[in-house]
């Protein structure tokens, strides 16, 4: 009986699925690109052990099953819950991943769909999941906790493209995360992006970060150098895009078995810009959070 409901067995089985591994790898890559810490093999091993067992033993599982309390106590043990909700300091890597929690992200179409499909047996909800396994609303104290848990499970278990019954697109798994352009940023780091398009997107991001509503400045980098709120006046310097190159900084990997790029450098073609400002390097770190 305990084996049939054991969350440790279920975690180990589901974490063997290729699509689950790929989506967990995506979370680890995003945590790495935040550059808060260097993820060691010891960190990774500890994280995977916690995701599988939840720091529970087989004896704990049997005891909960015999006491009839397993539905409540097992609620936080599925790996797709633990990966986003371990914020007690027991695992620093999972603490970094917690900011990516899909439950924190509004998804109006998906939220509306789930709100109107709270029935105990909903074929429409089951069809959202690759494995067809749903979460019973009755096992959660309120709708918010239930929808949050569904979003976390959907990140790992959603169909490649999840749609409503009438065919209206709701979301893809990646859209449940906060970074809209993470996939594009990773493409850039691999060196597969079109550099002209990349410079245009960087220029647009810089304008937006400076609050410059200059829609006709697509072929220039516009940098705000002075601003007066009282006079509603900004001084802006513009530089043609074709005077800049975007470089992917390769890591110094002499002491590493494997490494990946983490940083982009926006560099002017000459030593000095037209404003006699040292070009040096403009490092765009974590840029995928702001490329609108």
Q: Which residues contact 292 (CB under 8 A, 6 or more apart)?
A: 180, 204, 205, 208
First CA to last CA distance, the chain? 51
pLDDT category, 292, cuts 50, 70, 90? very low
pLDDT of residue 150: 93
Pair 99, 212 in one domain: no
Residue owning tokens 């400002």: 277
Q: Are residues 57 and 12 in the same domain?
A: yes
Task: State residue 73's pLDDT score.
Answer: 65
Per the structure, the complete domain to which residue 270 belongs is given by 182-289
Residues 153 and 167 in one domain: yes
Which pLDDT belongs to residue 57? Answer: 82
Same domain, 7 and 46: yes
Q: What is the pLDDT of residues 35-76, one digit of tens each?
A: 788 888 899 999 999 999 988 888 877 787 777 655 566 677
Q: How many domains does the chain have?
A: 2
Whether 145 and 12 share a structural domain:
yes
Domain boundary pick from 148, 176, 204: 176
Q: Which residues contact 80 (CB under 8 A, 6 or more apart)?
A: 152, 153, 155, 156, 157
Same domain, 206 and 256: yes
Rounded average pLDDT over 241-249 = 86
> Residue 158 gets which letter from DSSP?
B
Report the distance separating Cα 219 and Cα 200, nearest Å. Answer: 7
Kindly report, residue by residue over 250-287, the tens digit of the pLDDT: 777 666 666 788 888 888 887 544 333 333 333 333 33
Whether 45 and 160 map to the same domain: the answer is yes
Domain boundary among 160, 176, 192: 176
Question: What is the reported pLDDT for 165?
Answer: 47
Residues 191 and 237 in one domain: yes
Residues 196 and 93 in one domain: no
Same domain, 27 and 149: yes
Instruction: Tell me which of 151, 176, 201 is where a domain ends.
Output: 176
Same domain, 83 and 103: yes
- Percent of the chain scoring above 90 in pLDDT: 24
The residue written with tokens 């909960």 in the block is 64
- CB under 8 Å to 39, separation ≥6 — which residues? 28, 31, 32, 93
Q: Are residues 147 and 263 in the same domain?
A: no
């Amino acid at each position: 009986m305990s084996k049939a409901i054991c969350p440790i067995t279920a975690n180990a089985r589901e974490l063997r699925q290729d699509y689950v591994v790929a989506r967990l790898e995506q979370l680890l890559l995003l945590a790495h690109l935040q550059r808060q810490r260097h993820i060691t093999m010891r960190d990774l091993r500890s994280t995977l052990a916690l995701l599988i067992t939840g720091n529970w033993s087989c004896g704990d599982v049997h005891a909960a099953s015999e006491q009839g309390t397993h539905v409540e106590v097992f609620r936080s043990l599925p790996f797709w819950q633990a990966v986003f909700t371990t914020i007690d300091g027991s695992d620093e890597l999972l603490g970094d991943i917690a900011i990516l929690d899909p439950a924190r992200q509004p998804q109006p179409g998906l939220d509306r769909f789930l709100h109107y499909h709270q029935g105990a047996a909903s074929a429409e909800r089951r069809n959202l999941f690759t494995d067809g396994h749903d979460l019973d609303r009755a096992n959660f104290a309120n709708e918010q906790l239930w929808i949050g848990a569904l979003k976390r499970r959907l990140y790992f278990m959603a169909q490649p493209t999840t749609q409503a019954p009438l065919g209206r697109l709701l979301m893809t798994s990646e859209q449940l995360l906060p970074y809209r352009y993470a996939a594009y940023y990773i493409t850039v780091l691999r060196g597969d992006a079109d550099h002209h398009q990349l410079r245009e997107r960087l220029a647009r991001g810089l304008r937006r970060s400076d609050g410059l509503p200059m829609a006709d400045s697509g072929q220039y980098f516009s940098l705000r150098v002075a601003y007066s709120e009282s006079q509603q006046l900004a001084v802006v310097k513009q530089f043609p895009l074709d005077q800049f190159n975007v470089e992917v900084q390769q890591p110094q990997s002499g002491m590493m078995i494997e490494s990946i790029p983490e940083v982009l450098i926006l560099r002017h073609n000459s030593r000095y810009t037209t404003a006699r400002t040292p070009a040096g390097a403009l490092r765009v770190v974590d840029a995928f959070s702001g490329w609108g």
